[in-house]
Amino acid sequence: MISVLRSLLALAAFVLAAPALAQDEAMILIAHPAFRDLEYRQTVLIAAPAPNGGHVGVILNRPTRRSLGSLFPEHEPSKKVADPVYYGGPFSRGALVALVHADASPGAGSVLLMKDLYLAFRANTIDHVIETTPNEARYFVGYVGWRPGELKSEIDRGLWSVQNADLDMVFRKDTEGLWEELLQSSKRIRADGASAPAAFYAVVAR
């Protein structure tokens, strides 16, 4: 039942068809205070290179009021997931994707964001995660995608501040106030004259 529901909504071909990437270039994006687009206002995202040469990610600080069990009441394993479902972004917003904490790819249709962290798109892979390690993942409706060069252009225009990603931040339980906290942190970094990591510039230039 859960696989059929998710499979009704097609995801972008660049993620579905590709194997996991072997790179450690994930970044945290903090929306500029002047970013008024309601989809991204006061958001914090994790993003990483996608197989098509662009980038892919999810919004980290938009929990919904729904549990996975309430979305799929006939799927018993979904009821074991403790965290709420999050809104991941405007791409395929009716489909479920998952950030999976694992030391190996959870299955086909997964993108490696950083060490021990994958973004899974395929329904059968997500089903397997829910059925085997339900609380070693966070579940999202929708995701965010950028065409090649698009994210670099947005960063150059000042829409996003950039920080290194870490698992504690990605799976933080309480995301209220996360945007404000990271915004202040990014301001301190700029004030100290620190630059973004060289790896970041290599990634966004692709």
Instruction: List pLDDT tens digits, range 145-157.
Output: 999 999 999 999 9
What mean pLDDT do residues 45-66 have? 94
pLDDT of residue 46: 97
- Bridge partners, 137 (sequence order): 100
pLDDT in tens, 77-107: 999 998 999 999 999 988 999 999 999 999 9
Is the pLDDT at 52 greater than 70, yes or no?
yes
Looking up tokens 């479920």 gives 96
Whole-angstrom distance, CA of residue 48 vs CA of residue 119: 10
What mean pLDDT do residues 171-196 have? 77
pLDDT of residue 201: 39
Give the torsion through C-alpha atoms of 184, 188, 191, 193, to 10 deg. -130
Q: What is the 3-state secondary structure (H, E, C) of the chain?
A: CHHHHHHCCCCCHHHHCCCCCCCCCCEEEEECCCCCCCCCCCCEEEEEECCCCCEEEEECCCEEEEEHHHHCCCCHHHHHCCCEEEECCCEEEEEEEEEEECCCCCCCCEEEEECCEEEECCHHHHHHHHHHCCCCEEEEEEEEEECCCHHHHHHHCCCEEEEECCHHHHCCCCCCCHHHHHHHHHHHHHHCCCCCCHHHHHHHCC
What mean pLDDT do residues 194-205 have? 43
pLDDT of residue 190: 55
Whole-angstrom distance, CA of residue 36 vs CA of residue 135: 33
Entry pTM = 0.81
Q: Please, are residues 145 and 45 in contact by the beta-carbon 8 Å criterion?
A: no
Tell me phi and psi for residue 135, to 5 degrees.
Answer: -105, 15
Instruction: Identify the band that residue 133 occupies on the pLDDT scale cut at 50, 70 and 90.
Output: very high
Instruction: Identify the band that residue 188 occupies on the pLDDT scale cut at 50, 70 and 90.
Output: low
Pairing of strands 84-87, 137-146: parallel
Instruction: Identify the band that residue 192 occupies on the pLDDT scale cut at 50, 70 and 90.
Output: low
Whole-angstrom distance, CA of residue 5 vs CA of residue 163: 36
pLDDT in tens, 3-37: 433 433 334 333 433 333 334 479 999 999 998 88
Mean pLDDT over each residue of the chain, to the nearest integer: 83
Is the pLDDT at 185 greater than 70, yes or no?
yes
By percentage, how much of the chain surpasses pLDDT 90?
A: 69
